Amino acid sequence: MGDILKRIEEAVYNGDEDGIVALTGEALNEGLSPQEIIDQGGVVALDRLGVDFDNLVVFLPELMIAGDCMKALIETVTPHMKGGEKIYKGKVVIGCAKGDLHDIGKNLVATQLSVNGFQVKDLGVDVSTSKFIDTAEAEQADIIAISSLLTTSQYYMEELVKRLDNEGKRGKFRIAVGGGPINPEYAKKIGVDGYARTAHSAISMAQRLMKIKPAEELIVEL
């Protein structure tokens, strides 16, 4: 079992787009769960690449190809994800903060919420604060969820809170944040309602958010 996860890690790290789908299928056949394949295979490779990118061992093209591999892995495991009860739990508008094109984590959160009974409207990458607000209003969303992997983009989470406050709309939506540089301290500082560290913990965070009012307390799931 460990061996197949290691091979998946290497395939993502090396950008082996042809190999990754077959290896992921093999892992599913061996009985590994989508969660294990994502977290102990693909994500480990992306974390290694992040470190190697910092140390100038790999460069942007390698990150891009690995990102595509990870997407192929996620597409392969998604039909095998088991959801909880399918009752309507709330409507979520999700996207990557302005300037941010890292969508792998955001896609995982969107998929997990959707297979667990939330209605999810995915706005994609590089989403402006106005677009978050306009869509959330049009969709009558319960939760606005923002992902940021870039320290330069995380500011837009704060901007969203300020805009909603200034426009007298803060009471309409719960705001959830996540992504690499985000942590509970930052979430508390900018006054959002929810933080989750992983896509899996985002499910229970979002479920708990539905039980509180906006701006009531910070819900953290690690």
For residue 4, give the H/E element and its range: helix 2-13
Determine which residue in the list 27, 72, 104, 157 makes contact with ligand B12, applying CB under 6 A.
104
With contacts defined by CB under 6 A, name the span among 11-19, 27-35, 177-185, 210-218 that binds ligand B12: 177-185
- In the bound state with ligand B12, the residue whose beta carbon lies nearer, of 29 and 55, is 55
Does residue 196 touch ligand B12 according to CB under 6 A? yes
Q: Does 63 bind ligand B12 (CB under 6 A)?
A: yes
Beta-carbon contacts of 93 under 8 Å, excluding residues fewer than 6 positions away, are: 121, 123, 132, 135, 136, 139, 141, 143, 144, 145
Q: What angle do CA 11, 17, 18 make, to 5 degrees?
A: 100
Under the binding rule (CB under 6 A), the answer on residue 40 touching ligand B12 is no
Distance between CA atoms of residues 44 and 10, nearest Å: 9
Binding segment for ligand B12 (CB under 6 A), chosen from 80-88, 133-141, 155-163, 195-203, is: 195-203
Site for ligand B12 in 143-162 (CB under 6 A): 145-147, 149-151
Between CA 165 and CA 13 the distance in angstroms is 43
Interaction of residue 124 with ligand B12, rule CB under 6 A: no
198 contacts ligand B12 (rule: CB under 6 A): yes
Q: Rounded distance, CA 99 to CA 101, Å? A: 7
Q: Is 56 in the site for ligand B12 (CB under 6 A)?
A: no
Give the integer Cα–Cα distance in Å for 38 and 44. Answer: 9
CB atoms within 10 A of CB 64: 11
Question: Interface with ligand B12 by CB under 6 A: which residues?
Answer: 43, 46-47, 49-50, 53-54, 60, 63-64, 66-67, 99-106, 108-109, 145-147, 149-151, 176-181, 196, 198-199, 202
